[in-house]
């Protein structure tokens, strides 16, 4: 695109000015991520599309612990003046340090970042501080859920419940086959 625009501006190759302006203008990108194929992006995208009509939508299905190639590509392609909008802060990262690194990188590159749920201006020092607090709370929430899950499994085992996949062969049959 850059070479096409450069040739156009050099007047060697005439092009439609509207097209040239479109490529030069800043753009708004909506990023939505769900963890599995069974989930829908609708809850994230519908309200954002109403609030930011004409935005470019980037949707990805990627678990929180796996790589997010669509997000990484999008972040690389953003230019100063562009805007990245997500439904919630935890859509761009799982760890506090990861989220803060991305927000700082966007700020340094003069790219606006909006997280609708938190309604924070990330371009200010207070906004970045609040981002750190919110990201820490999200990490705490994930850790609490994980510890409650483990505690629930241990309690179920103590009650004699079978956890996991049912046995396909009985202990009696197994012991006869081994002896």
Catalytic residues: 35
**In a 3-state reduction of DSSP, which class is residue 112?**
strand
Pick the closest to residue 133 from 166, 101, 170, 96 (CA basis). 96
> How many other C-beta atoms lie within 10 A of the C-beta of residue 47?
12
Cα separation of 74 and 114, whole Å? 15
Token pair 């803060």 in the structure block, residue: 100
Cα(first)–Cα(last) distance of the chain, in Å? Answer: 73
């Amino acid at each position: 695109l850059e070479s096409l625009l450069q040739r156009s501006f050099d007047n060697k190759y005439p092009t439609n000015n509207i097209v040239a302006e479109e490529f030069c203008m800043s753009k708004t990108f909506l990023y939505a991520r769900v963890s599995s194929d069974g989930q829908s992006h609708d809850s994230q995208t519908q309200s954002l599309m109403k609030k930011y009509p004409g935005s470019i939508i980037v949707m990805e299905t990627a678990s929180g612990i796996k790589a997010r190639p669509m997000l990484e590509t999008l972040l690389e392609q953003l230019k100063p003046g562009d805007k990245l909008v997500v439904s919630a802060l935890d859509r761009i990262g799982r760890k506090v340090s990861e989220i803060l690194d991305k927000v700082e990188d966007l700020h340094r590159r003069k790219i606006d970042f909006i997280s609708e749920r938190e309604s924070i201006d990330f371009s200010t020092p207070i906004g970045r501080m609040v981002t750190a607090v919110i990201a820490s709370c999200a990490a705490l929430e994930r850790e609490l859920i994980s510890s409650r899950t483990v505690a629930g499994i241990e309690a179920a085992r103590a009650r004699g419940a079978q956890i996991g996949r049912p046995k396909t062969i009985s202990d009696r049959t197994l012991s006869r086959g081994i002896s």
